[in-house]
């Protein structure tokens, strides 16, 4: 798909990978709805999109609330008259030890990383089917969805869910000209990762050979949007391997 003059919606667009996704799409000519629970962050990203010469709106949204998600999609379509690209990117990582957690903190990880991705994909597909022009949905997974993570098993489970959910929707490309794919980065230098402190950053860097920059991941999103052959595919993004694809799985 050519990105120029298309309209995109990005969740978690107020910072980190999401912000870079918004800017990468804007530089290719897309208008962008920046969706984030941090409205100030979303508006800061929207300002940068406007500086790049494209239209932007910022939408405050808790992606675990279906009503707010539906409202965000409605706002994007009303603002731009169309919706062609959706990046379900919002995510968290709760590191509370699973077997010591009496407050069920891990439930938030599933709600944001997996359930909200399903909700966002549903809203995207319904909008694109109604428009009849097709579109592209990109879900943010993780290398933790392809490999075990003993230190964060629920996070790994949530991202593995995103991976298989995405693969299971490959048929939409033929049925509705809607391509659903996922991007699975290794550790990325974002505010979320930096919350763990410099020691944790160094530990992760040594584990995987370095920390990715968000714009390198965002460049992968552009590649996925522009490659019409991709449907149900998972782009891996790592320091050692660059951007490549996990083995294709077809039913």
Residue 18, SS3 per DSSP: helix
> What whole-number distance in Å separates Cα of residue 221 and Cα of residue 181?
9
Q: Which residues are catalytic?
A: 155
Closest CA to 139 of 73, 85, 183: 183
Residue 179, SS3 per DSSP: strand
- Cβ(76)–Cβ(46) under 8 Å? no
Residue 216, SS3 per DSSP: helix
How many angstroms separate the Cα of 236 from the Cα of each of 186, 197, 206, 212, 242?
8, 25, 19, 12, 8
Three-class secondary structure assignment of 23-83: HHHHHCCCEEEEEECCHHHHHHHHHHHHHCCCCEEEEECCCCCHHHHHHHHHHHHHHHCCC
> What whole-number distance in Å separates Cα of residue 155 and Cα of residue 95?
9
Output DSSP code: residue 93. -
């Amino acid at each position: 798909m050519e990105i120029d003059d298309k309209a995109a919606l990005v969740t978690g667009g107020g910072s980190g990978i999401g912000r870079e996704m918004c800017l990468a799409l804007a530089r290719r000519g897309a208008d962008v709805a920046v969706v984030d629970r941090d409205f100030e962050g979303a508006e800061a990203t929207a300002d940068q999109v406007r500086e790049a010469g494209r239209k932007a709106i910022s939408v405050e949204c808790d992606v675990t609330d279906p009503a707010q998600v539906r409202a965000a999609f409605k706002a994007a379509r009303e603002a731009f008259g169309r919706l062609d690209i959706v990046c379900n990117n919002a995510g968290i990582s709760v590191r509370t030890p699973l077997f010591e957690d009496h407050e069920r903190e891990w439930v938030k990880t599933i709600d944001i990383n997996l359930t909200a991705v399903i909700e966002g994909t549903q809203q995207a597909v319904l909008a694109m089917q109604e428009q009849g022009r097709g579109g592209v949905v990109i879900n943010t997974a993780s290398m933790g969805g392809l490999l075990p993570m003993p230190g964060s098993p629920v996070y790994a489970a949530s991202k593995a869910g995103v991976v298989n959910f995405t693969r299971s929707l490959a048929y939409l490309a033929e049925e509705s000209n809607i391509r659903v794919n996922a991007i699975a980065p290794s550790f990325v230098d974002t505010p979320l990762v930096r919350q763990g402190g410099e020691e944790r950053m160094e530990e992760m860097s040594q584990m995987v050979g370095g920390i990715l920059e968000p714009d390198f991941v965002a460049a992968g999103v552009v590649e996925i949007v522009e490659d019409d052959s991709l449907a149900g595919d998972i782009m891996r993004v790592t320091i050692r391997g660059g951007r490549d694809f996990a083995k294709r799985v077809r039913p």
